[in-house]
Amino acid sequence: MIGTAHKRRAGFTLIEALIALALLSIVVVKITMVLNAASKANSKESAAMALEDQARRVLDQIAYAIMSADRDALFPDPQSPAYTTEVDYEFSLGVDENGDVIWSDPEHIGLDGSKVVWKQNPDMPAERKVAWCNVVRPFLQGEIDNSLDDNDNGLTDEQGLSFTLFKDAVTIRLCLERPNKDGTATTEAVETVVTIRN
Amino acid sequence: MKIIGQRRHGDAARRGGALILSLVAVGVVGVLAMAFLQLSASVTRRQVGAVDTKLAFYLAEAGLTESYAGVLVGRTGRVGSETDPAVYGEGLLWVERDVIDGDHIELKSTGMAKTGRATLGVVLERGTPNVKGLGVFSLSNLIIGPGTTVDGFDSSVGTYAEHLAMDPALMELARLGSNANVTVSATPTDPTVIKGDVIPGPASSVVEAGDPTITGNTTNESVTAEVFPAIVIPTVPMFGGVTHGAGVPLIVPSGSFGAAYLHLAANSDVTLQGPLTLVLGGLQLASDSQLLFDTTNGAINLYVSNYLDVDPAALLVTTGEKANDVMISIDGDVPVEFESAGPFYGMIYAPDATVVLANGFELFGAVAAATLDIANGATLHYDAALAAIGAEEELPKKVSWRIVDLPQAVPKSLTKDPFDELGVDPDLLANPADAHEDQTIHVRYIPPAGPPAQNYDGLESGFNWNNVKYLLSLKRDGGLVDGDLAEIADDGGLTMTVK
């Protein structure tokens, strides 16, 4: 009698197996959804962090170049709402034995399509060129090409890289945009104000 | 026995792989988390490195500012050193000084904050000594004749006429001085009015004859005589002499050049257009000639070496009303007499010559000469804005600013300590204001207890500034800091400028 009872309880019925499988599937799907969402959030945040990091590094490079530049030779005085997307400058290398300032070779920072390009000796045989980044947004965040100041910053249709000068202060604005695999885009805009010290 | 067997069967039936699956899942999640942590750690290190570099950059700028402030009051410009830096906030800084030539020095400031390091450099040029703040000044006895009117205004606030319209009390800005005695004369028919200060030289006095009106101070607490800086005539292309006759006015364009002489014949007109630096061997204005200083587009600096003859009926006229825009520098012992009606807005500087301001001459600005004789009836209006302009011109100027070194390497460690790197204890380091290089000073002062005046010669580190109530003079390494009477504020603050 006891042996028969054991033989009867061995194994699962089909219904039990199906129910177990269904429950397992639900759990696995849930876990997969959570992992997927976490992975997407992680990717999005990582992309945003990396893009912001890149934007700040490029902004710092531009800022350090502008700080050392000769104010009188930088570019004409645009006042808001005007702006420029490129600057030509020379920076101080020090002074010679007579106390005269020694200026560097001419340099240029500007947009070339979606790239921020630095050039030394622009338009000369000895020209050197480096792209500091290549994901510049066509227009600054919040701005569209409609001859209006959409983002209320005093500028009209400003592009992803812009310089505005007021007295000795230069406001540098940079907006980067990188497309994501899901069709969306990650956008980071950074801005700083530097004082020209020469 | 049967129950145990049943239990064994039950244990076997419940045996499964759930734990293994759980471990696998946890392992996968763990690996993902580690990967994410590594990525964010590297990004964090780079961002923190950028932030630390900026901190170091600002520390270096703070060092430059502190050093420059020290240079303004006669210090060497060195603040701390690499072995004994100054501590500021979470980092440290020091400033080194290199002499380029007699008129230029370079200050290099290094800032270190956590993982960041930055070195910035600035080249300073010696300021231009001038006498614009002295007003109407004579090295020898100053004689002011009867009928003379001297008052003042501030062209940075408004024109002379606007001052008159606002409040006559605003005109009491006159400043007359001498390294010797000042004699002020008046008569009942030719009263003399001086609305402002008349300052005699050290151990000298103001002699009043005939009851002139002087509204300001007539005593001198300073023990230091004024010294006129020599005129440095600029090197410019020189041409032959020019004599211009009556008829078509001669326009001297802006630029920098010179001539052996410029003679204006009777009834002739010559216009000098600024910005202009003109060097003349001699200048002569005949009767009814006019020399017009057109400062519409810039200032005019006129240097005259051998002679300056101005006919009493000739005119010296300026288009602008800012005295700082016209400077006539007379080099050498060239006797000069100005008698034209003017009005003339500008400054006249003759450190070796005798200048006579005769009856009818009206000057808006300032005049300083070895000997100054203000004859009866001259009218002088001192432009007080010249004092601030002159003081600013005497300050060292920044010629060049540059980034010497700005390493951008990504740090391997987030906990790098610059104090450990240099082997210094932050608790033992001074702050930047107290880290200036020690110097020999000569101080003449009045202690809190009152006169007599005391002297101190020695290292500044050995001097207690709390013992000073009134500062009479201060020299740092032989360089005179402004010797005017200066009171130490209750908080110890003191403002001085270097001459």
Query: What is the tens place of the pLDDT at every residue in A55-64?
Result: 998 999 999 9
The mean per-residue pLDDT over the stretch A125-152 comes to: 87
State the Cα–Cα distance between residues B327 and B316, nearest whole angstrom. Answer: 12
Predicted local distance difference test score (pLDDT) of residue A1:
45
Residue in B with minimal Cα distance to A94: B400
- Secondary structure (DSSP) of B245-307: -SSSPEEE-SEEEEES-EEE-TT-EEEEESSEEEEEEEEEE-TT-EEEEE-SSS-EEEEEEEE
- Calpha distance A99→B103 (Å, rounded): 8
B190 and B286 part of one domain: yes
Residue B11 placed within a domain: no
Q: Which two tokens stand for residue B162?
A: 């606007």
Per-residue pLDDT, B275: 95
Which residues from chain A sit within 8 angstroms of residue B29, using beta carbons? 35
Could you state, in order of their start, the residue ranges of all structural domains in chain A? 42-195
A140 to each of A188, B13, B379, how far by Cα in Å?
Answer: 10, 66, 62
Which pLDDT score, from 0 to 100, does residue B31 have?
86
Determine phi and psi for B417, rounding to 5 degrees: -115, 115
Please tell me whether the peptide bond between B432 and the residue prior to it is cis, using omega within 30 degrees of 0: no
Tell whether the model's pLDDT for residue B88 goes beyond 50. yes
Could you list the residue range(s) of the whole structural domain that residue B55 is in? 41-127+395-434
CA distances from B485 to B206, B444, B453 (A): 19, 10, 12
Same domain as B140, residue B121: no
> In this structure, are B141 and B119 located in the same domain?
no
- Asked if the model's pLDDT at residue A114 lies above 70, the reply is yes
The token duo for B293 is: 């200083």
pLDDT tier, B265 (very low <50, low <70, confident <90, very high otherwise): very high
Lookup: tokens for A184: 């969306």
A163, A140 Cβ separation under 8 angstroms: no
Is the pLDDT at B102 greater than 60, yes or no? yes
Same domain, B278 and B416: no
In a domain, B426, yes or no: yes
Q: Are residues B56 and B145 in the same domain?
A: no
For an interface test with B, the pick among A7, A8, A42 (most B C-beta atoms closer than 10 Å) comes out as: A42
Amino acid at B206: V
Q: Is B23 among the domain residues?
A: no
A171 contact partners, CB below 8 Å, separation of at least 6: A163, A164, A165, A191, A192, A193
Two tokens at B41?
């750690």
Residue B305 has pLDDT above 70, yes or no: yes
Please tell me the predicted confidence (pLDDT) of residue B495: 45
Q: Residue B487 has what pLDDT?
A: 45
Residue B429 within a domain: yes
Is B18 among the domain residues?
no
Q: What is the pLDDT of residues B18-71, one digit of tens each?
A: 888 788 878 888 887 888 788 777 777 777 888 888 899 999 999 999 999 999
pLDDT tens, position by position, B438-468: 888 888 888 888 878 888 888 888 898 888 8
pLDDT in tens, B412-439: 666 678 888 888 888 888 899 989 988 8
Instruction: Return the percentage of chain B with pLDDT > 90, whole number.
Output: 42
Distance CA A89, CA A70 (A): 7
**pLDDT band at residue A2 under the 50/70/90 scheme:** very low
The pLDDT tens digits for B129-147 are 888 988 999 999 999 989 9
For chain B, the average pLDDT equals 85
Confidence of residue A11 (pLDDT cuts 50, 70, 90): confident
B238 band by pLDDT with thresholds 50, 70 and 90? very high
Q: Do B54 and A35 lie within an 8 Å CB cutoff?
A: no
B84: in domain: yes
* Residues of chain A by 3-state class (helix, strand, coil), percent to 5: 35, 30, 35
Q: What is the pLDDT of residue B454?
A: 85
To the nearest 10°, report the CA torsion of B279, B280, B284, B288. Answer: -30
Can you tell me the distance from the alpha carbon of B369 to that of B464, in angstroms, rounded to the nearest whole number? 40
Question: Do residue B246 and residue B273 come from a single domain?
Answer: yes
The per-residue pLDDT for A116 is: 94
Instruction: Tell me if B151 sits within 8 A of B161, measured CB to CB.
Output: no
- Give dist(CA B188, CA B178) in Å, integer: 26
Residues of chain B found within 8 Å of residue A2, distances taken between Cβ atoms = 2, 6
Q: Does A31 touch chain B (CB under 8 A)?
A: yes
Considering the domain architecture, whether residues B48 and B160 belong to the same structural domain is answered as no
pLDDT of residue A156: 77
Interface touch A94/B46, C-beta < 8 Å: no
pLDDT band at A9 (very low <50, low <70, confident <90, very high): low
pLDDT at A77 over 50: yes
Q: Which of A6, A31, A92 sits opposite B9 (nearest CB)?
A: A6
Tell me: do B423 and B466 sit in the same domain.
Answer: no
Same-domain check for residues B344 and B358: yes
The per-residue pLDDT for range B354-378, each reduced to its tens digit, is 999 888 888 999 999 999 998 888 8
Give the residue-averaged pLDDT of B321-349.
87
CATH number reported for the structural domain that contains residue B102 in this entry: 3.30.1300.30
Contact (CB<8Å) A101/B13: no
Judge whether residue A153 has pLDDT over 80: no
Give pLDDT, residue A37. 85
pLDDT score recorded for residue B485: 41
Q: Is residue B7 part of a domain?
A: no
pLDDT of the residue at B118: 93
Q: Which residues of B touch A (CB under 8 A)?
A: 2, 6, 9, 13, 25, 29, 32, 36, 39-40, 43, 46-47, 50, 54, 100-101, 103-104, 106, 121, 123, 125, 398-403, 406
Mutate to test the interface with A, among B400, B405, B408 (most CBs of A within 10 A): B400
Q: How far is CA B336 from the centre of its chain?
A: 31
Output the pLDDT for position B185.
92
pLDDT at B401: 93
Contacts of B315 (CB under 8 A, 6+ apart): B285, B288, B289, B290, B291, B340, B341, B342
Q: What is the pLDDT of residue B473?
A: 76
Task: Measure the CA–CA gap between B381 and B362, rounded to whole angstroms.
Answer: 8
Does B403 contact A64 at a Cβ distance shorter than 8 Å? yes
Contact A60 B403 (CB under 8 A): no
B377, part of any domain: yes
Give pLDDT, residue B410. Answer: 59
Round to whole Å and give the CA distance between B52 and A190: 19
What would the 3-class secondary structure string for B319-387 be?
A: CCCCHHHEEEEECCCCCEEECCCCCEEEEEEEEEEEEEECCCCEEEEEEEEEEEEECCCCEEEEECHHH
Q: Are residues B187 and B310 in the same domain?
A: yes
The nearest CA of chain B is from the CA of A56 a distance in Å of 9
Task: Kindly state whether residues B223 and B341 are assigned to the same domain.
Answer: yes
pLDDT at residue number B12: 56
Q: How many domains does chain B have?
A: 3
B100 and A53 in contact by Cβ < 8 A?
no
Q: Does the pLDDT of residue B472 top 80, yes or no?
A: no
Residue burial B73-107, b: 16+ Cβ < 10 Å; e: rest: bbbbbbbbeeeebbbbeebbbbbbbeebeeebbbb
From CA B53, how far away is CA B300, in angstroms rounded?
A: 47
Domain co-membership, B74 together with B157: no
State the Cα–Cα distance between residues A140 and A85, nearest whole angstrom.
11
